[in-house]
Structure 1
Amino acid sequence: MSEELDTQTTLKQLTKRIEELEAVRDLTSLRAEFHRALNNREWDTLAGLFTEDAHLDYGEYGQAHGSKEVRSYYGQLLEQIRDMRNATAIALKNYIHGHQVHINGEDTATGVCFFEEQIRFNKDSLAFSSLGQFSDKYVRIGDRWFFAKVELDHYWVVPDNDGWRWPW
């Protein structure tokens, strides 16, 4: 009987560990999909990664509440940056580094990652590196994870021109 209990306990522990590992994998994929959709300007796909009551906070660049507003926010973000920088064309690619995930419960988690963005504001302008950190809250609805909150801590935008050519 004792051996049977040990086996059941071990199976429960292993099952929990596997579920956590799968959640981390799914959340890492969610974060990667965010940046893929952003780079490809797939605003509907990007909005679909957020809950209906999600909160997006980009600091000085604005906020959005809910997946519908998130869609609208990203749809006008490049135009907003273009206006802020008095630019004629925006070209950018955004990448993540060091994504860390913490599973808080069966259906909640938090994460943090650093981002690096290569950007040009005009065809003939200098290239810039934009750096910062995303802090996330995730929620699982059914069998799928979503962003419940995304907060950007934007560090800086600095010139970065060695080896750059237009277009990418």
Structure 2
Amino acid sequence: MSHTDPHQLPDTADPESLARRNALLESRIQRLEDIEEIKNLHRRYIRKLADRDWQGMADFFTEDAVTDIRWHGRTEGKKQLVEEVFDELHSLVKSADGYVLSSPVIELAAGADQAYGEWTWHRHICEFRTTGGLMRVWGPWLEGRYKCHYERVDGQWRFKDMWFRVVLPDVDPEHHEMQERIAASGTDPQRTGAGLIRRDEG
């Protein structure tokens, strides 16, 4: 008795059936390629973070992107993201840390120009700021979660909406809670970014 592979087209398949099958396969392949491009987008973003390349990080967002990143609060548009997040980080973050991005779950319909993804993020802290300067130490870590909407713009995938929080070992306070802590501590709540990123480049 012969066994027939249910996934194999018969040699006598009519042209119309073959055309439908080819179109389906092309759609599936394109979806897989889009998912891989989205994964590469997020990986490159984390590489820029590790390299402290704030200008390069901004380039991964759409012009009207919305973000909600830890205590920085909500931003609307790339210009506000640069001015209120990346400029501040450029001025303040001097430590050398390691990052691991893992466990991507990407939701994308075939042929769509929008997608949704969630990731797990780990930061391995190598240096701590003390009164005597930066102290080198290895071991402490943080775990975070990304929840992102992506959009294809001019053939390139970009971040359309990004939410990020640290969840372990301690959960990030929400923005209003952080502002209350800042006010209670007497720390100047104004942004301290030096504006070193060139805004004339978009």
TM-score, reference length from structure 1: 0.79
Partner of 1:138: 150
Matched, 1:121 2:128: yes
User: Residue 27 in 1 paired to residue 38 in 2?
Assistant: yes
User: Offset at 1:126?
Assistant: 4.8
Q: Is the 8 A contact 2:108 2:116 kept in 1?
A: yes
Paired residue for 1:9?
20
Tell me if 1:56 matches 2:67.
Answer: yes
Q: CA deviation at 1:78?
A: 6.3
Q: Structure 1, residues 34-62: CA drift from partner, whole Å, max 9, x if none?
A: 10111111112111100011011113343
1:79 deviation in Å?
5.0
SS at match of 1:133: strand
**2:103 corresponds to 1:98:** yes
AA aligned opposite 1:141 = V
Larger RCO, structure (CA 8 Å, separation 6 or more) = 2
1:142 and 1:78 map into 2 onto residues whose CA distance is 29
The 1:103–1:13 alpha-carbon spacing in structure 2 relative to 1, beyond 3 Å, is same
Instruction: Give the structure-2-normalised TM-score.
Output: 0.67
In the alignment, the residues of structure 2 paired with residue 20 and residue 40 of structure 1 have an alpha-carbon distance, to the nearest angstrom, of 30
State the 1:15 CA deviation.
0.9
Tell me, in whole angstroms, the C-alpha distance in 2 between the residues paired with 1:74 and 1:130: 20
Q: Which runs of 5+ in 2 are unaligned?
A: 1-11, 171-202
Q: Which runs of 5+ in 1 are unaligned?
A: 83-88, 159-168
What is the distance in 2 between the residues matched to 1:143 and 1:64? 25
Q: CA-atom RMSD, angstroms?
A: 2.3
Amino acid at match of 2:160: A
Q: Which has the larger radius of gyration?
A: 2
Greater shift in the superposed pair: 29-38 or 124-133: 124-133
Determine whether 1:42 maps to 2:49. Answer: no
Matched AA of 2:161: K
